[in-house]
Amino acid sequence: MNAKRKEIAPYARPVTEAELAIFAQRTLPLGFRASLLNPHRLTIIAEVKRASPSVGDIAHVVQDQALRPKPLPCIRKDFMVHPYQVLEAAQAGARCILIIVRGLTDDEIRPLHHAAQIAGLDVLFEVHDEAELERALKHNPTMVGVNNRNLSTFQIDLSFAERVLPQMPGHILKVAESGIKTVDDARRMRQAGAQALLVGESLMRSPNPQALLSAFRGV
């Protein structure tokens, strides 16, 4: 988070509600959260990435045509620390932003969440444990993901989601993040209450990502 603050410091500036509200007026297809609502099966947030901080290089070649096979609502999955990044996300066509509760104070979360709402963007709140979930719930989220990866140690344990997901109120769309590599992992997450999975590394390493996605959705 500190590195991101330093990165954007040279150009970040205050953002007005009028600037953000322009994007809420767009006539667009299904929103990000709405696209994940399916009472009959798991849905997938597919993260296309070449590398990650926790595992290094994953896929050496990402082809342009693989990025947008058809119009899909996208999330800006980044370390969000300033409302200007919300404006950037809206300008780029994103339909959602990520708020990582662990890396932000409540006073930092509030303007990010507000800016996203004004811009008509959904927000995925990311938590790791019960204390972070309690903090997230103060901001009235509609979508919360449990990261099975400890951001301090990078260790993965699916029991985090199994423990935290059932504690979320019923109106919240529940997402399991990280460490979901097999169909059995996906099944565990669904049994714990996940409605959607955020999957990146396993897709990038798979020789047949489409088949893996279909298998995950079918549990």
| Residue 19 reports pLDDT greater than 90 | yes
Query: Distance between alpha carbon 27 and the CA centroid of its chain, in Å?
Result: 23
SS3 202: helix
Q: Using only C-alpha atoms, what is the Rg of the chain?
A: 17
Q: Which residue has the tokens 């597919």?
A: 46
| Residue 139 reports pLDDT greater than 90 | yes
pLDDT in tens, 62-105: 555 555 555 789 999 999 999 999 999 999 999 999 999 999 99
pLDDT at 51: 52
Judge whether 21 lies within some domain: no
Residue 158 sits in a domain of what CATH number?
3.20.20.70
Rounded Cα distance, 219 and 212, in Å:
11
Q: Helix, strand, coil proportions of the chain in percent (round to 5)?
A: 40, 15, 40
Record the pTM. 0.90
Judge whether 49 lies within some domain: yes
The DSSP call for residue 196 is E
Rounded Cα distance, 121 and 108, in Å:
17
- The number of domains in the chain is 1
How far CA 113 is from CA of 58, 116, 156, 176, in Å, comes to 31, 5, 28, 21
Rounded Cα distance, 108 and 18, in Å:
20
Please check whether residue 199 is in contact with residue 46, taking contact to mean a CB–CB distance below 8 angstroms. Answer: yes
Judge whether 132 lies within some domain: yes
Judge whether 26 lies within some domain: no
Judge whether 146 lies within some domain: yes
| Residue 52 reports pLDDT greater than 70 | no
pLDDT band of residue 151 (cuts 50, 70, 90) is confident
SS3 50: coil
Rounded Cα distance, 136 and 164, in Å:
12
HSE at residue 90, side-chain half, CA atoms within 13 A, is 25
pLDDT in tens, 113-136: 999 999 999 999 999 999 999 999
Please check whether residue 144 is in contact with residue 135, taking contact to mean a CB–CB distance below 8 angstroms. Answer: no
pLDDT at 60: 53
Q: Tell me the average pLDDT of the chain.
A: 92
Judge whether 22 lies within some domain: no
Judge whether 25 lies within some domain: no
Domain limits at 185?
2-8+31-217
